[in-house]
Homo-oligomer: A and B are copies of this chain.
Amino acid sequence: LTQVAGATSAGAVLQLVRSGVTTRSDLARRTGMARSTVSQRVDALIRLGLVVETGDGPSTGGRPPTHLAFNPDGGVVVAADFGITHCRLAVANRLGELLAVHAGELDIGVGPAAAVDWAMEQVAELMERIDRPLSSIDAVGVGLPGPVEFAAGRVVNPPIMPGWDGVGVPPLFAAHLPDAAVLVDNDVNMMALGEYWHRWRSTVDDMLFVKIGTGIGCGIIARGSILHGAQGAAGDLGHVQIPDALDALCTCGNRGCVEAVAGGGAVSAALRAHGRDVHDARDVVALAIAGDAEALNALRTSGRLLGEVLAGAVNFFNPSVIVLGGDLADGHEQLIAGVREFVYRRSTALATRNLQIVHNRLGADAGVVGCAASALGAVLSAEAVDSRLARAEGTRGATA
C-alpha cells in the first residue's frame, strides 16, 4: 500500500478522489489517516460541492461502502482566448469539457476595457445557451497575444497590442464576476497547456509546444505546469540565432534569428520571390498540399531550420514530447519531417531516446482548452481548496 505524502488536507483528499479512490476506507488506507479524520475531510468537500456520494458499491460482507465521486457540474469556468483579430470564448465544466463555444472577430486594438466588455457579452449568451447563471462561474482563464506577467495577470511590453501595456486584466473581469478567480497568460502558453491537458498530462511531465505561424512561439510545460520564467518571457525560441540564418535580418533588429528564415512570414516572402501567389502560412500549406515543389521544399527547409533550434532546446530541457502547431505546421507532414530529421541527428542520444515529436490534436480549440485548464487549477488544486476552506473557517470564526 502506497502512502501518499501530504494527503492530510481536504484539498489533497480531493486529488485522491479525482484519481479514483472512491470510498472512505480506501482513502483512510491510502493516507494513513484515522477514519474519523477522513470523514471530516470528505464532509468539507461535500459542503463545497466538489464531491458527491453516488450510492452503494458492491458489498463484501457487512454494510456496503458508500462511493464518492468528483462532482464535475458544481460550477463552470470560462475560457477567453484573444488573438490579434479574433477571440474564441468557451464555457467548460470541471472536467475541462467544453459545454459551449463562440468564435468571433475582435480587433485587440480596441483596448482592454472594450475587449473584456465584448467578451463578457458573448459569455452571457453562452451561459444562457447552457442555461446556467453567471454566478456559477468559478474562474476565468484568459489568453492574450503578448507577454504576460502571470502572477499579476498584467500585460508587459506587448509588440502588437496597442493600449494594453501595463494593464492588469483580472480587475476588468472582476467588475463583471466579482467572485471568480482570473488567470491570465500568453496565448501560446495557453495552447501548450490545452494540448498537455487534453492528451499528455497523465503520462508526461515535460513538454514543449511550438507554434509556427507568421512568427515562432513556444510554451514550456515543466513538471506538469507552465514555466513562465523571470519576466514571463520563457519559451522565446523565435529569436535564437542559428548557423543557417546568419544573413537574414529579423523584425527584432538582430540578424540570424530562426524566425527570420523559418517563420510563416519569411517562408511566404521566399515563395513570392519564386513567383508564387502566397500571402501567409495558410497559403503556403495549401500550395504544398496541391503538390507545388517549391512549397514542399520550403516547408521541409523551415522544419530543418526550426529543428536546429529545437535540437538545442532538447539538449537543454530534455522534454518527453514536442507538439507542433500553428498555420505553417498544420495540414502537412513536410515541416514536422524536417524538424524530426534535424533533432534526432543533432540532439544527444540520451535526450532523444524516448522523445516524441508530434502534431497537435486540438487545432483552434487548444487555446480555450488551456484557458479552461488554467482556470480549473484555481478551483480544484489542493492549495485552492484548502485556502477556500481556511477562509470559510476564518469567516465562521469571526461571526461566531
B-contacting residues of A (Cβ < 8 Å)? 3-11, 31-34, 147, 156-157, 204-206, 218, 220, 222-223, 227-237, 239-243, 246, 252, 254, 256, 308-309, 311-313, 315-320, 346-351, 353-355, 382-384, 386-387, 389-391, 393-394, 397
* 27 pairs, CB–CB < 8 Å, chain A vs chain B: A3-B390, A3-B394, A4-B387, A5-B383, A5-B386, A6-B387, A8-B9, A32-B390, A156-B350, A157-B350, A206-B230, A206-B234, A218-B316, A222-B222, A223-B223, A229-B319, A230-B318, A230-B354, A231-B350, A233-B350, A236-B315, A236-B316, A240-B311, A241-B243, A241-B312, A243-B243, A312-B312
Nearest chain B CB to A133 CB, angstrom units = 27
Are B354 and A231 touching (Cβ within 8 A)?
yes
A386 to B204, CA, bound (A): 26
Q: A227-B222, A239-B348 are in contact. Are A391 and B3 (CB under 8 A)?
A: yes
Beta-carbon contact of B233 and A318 below 8 Å = yes
A394 touches B32 (CB 8 A): yes
Residues of B within 8 A of A231 (CB): 318, 350-351, 353-354
Interface of A is mostly: loop
Please name the 8 residue pairs, one residue from A and one from B, whose CB atoms are nearest each other, closest first.
A229-B318, A32-B394, A5-B387, A32-B390, A240-B312, A5-B383, A234-B318, A230-B320
Also in contact, A316 and B393, with CB within 8 A (given A3-B387, A5-B383, A243-B242): no
In the complex, what residues of B have CB within 8 A of residue A223's CB? 222-223, 227
Given contacts A4-B390, A242-B243, 13 further A-B contacts (CB under 8 A): A6-B383, A7-B390, A8-B386, A8-B389, A32-B393, A156-B350, A218-B316, A220-B316, A222-B223, A223-B227, A233-B351, A243-B246, A309-B312
- Check A33–B393 contact: CB distance below 8 A: yes
How many copies, total?
2
* Nearest CB of chain B from residue A358's CB, rounded to whole Å: 15
Instruction: Collect the chain B residues with CB atoms within 8 Å of residue A309's CB.
Output: 312
Q: Report the Cα distance A311→B350, complex, angstroms.
A: 24
A346 touches B254 (CB 8 A): yes
With A227-B223, A236-B348, A350-B233 as contacts: A390 and B33 at CB distance below 8 Å = yes
Contact indicator B317/A234 (Cβ below 8 Å): yes
A229's partner among B9, B156, B317, B394 (CB-CB below 8 A) is: B317
A32-B390, A256-B243, A393-B34 known; A316+B235 contact, CB < 8 A: yes
Q: How far is the CA of A315 from the CA of B313 in the complex (A)?
A: 11
Closest beta carbon of chain B to A61's beta carbon, Å? 22
Contact A5 B384 (CB under 8 A): yes
Q: Which residues of B contact A242 (CB under 8 A)?
A: 243
Alpha-carbon separation in the docked complex, A52 to B33 (Å): 25
Chain B residues closer than 8 Å to A355, beta-carbon distance: 230
Contact B8 A390 (CB under 8 A): yes
Residue from B31, B34, B234, B391 within 8 A of A316 (CB atoms): B234
Which B residue sits closest to A228, measured CB to CB?
B318
Q: State whether A236 and B318 are in contact (beta carbons under 8 Å apart), knowing that A9-B8, A383-B5 are contacts in the complex.
A: yes
Distance between A308 CB and nearest chain B CB, rounded to angstroms? 7
| Cβ–Cβ < 8 Å partners of A383 in chain B | 5-6
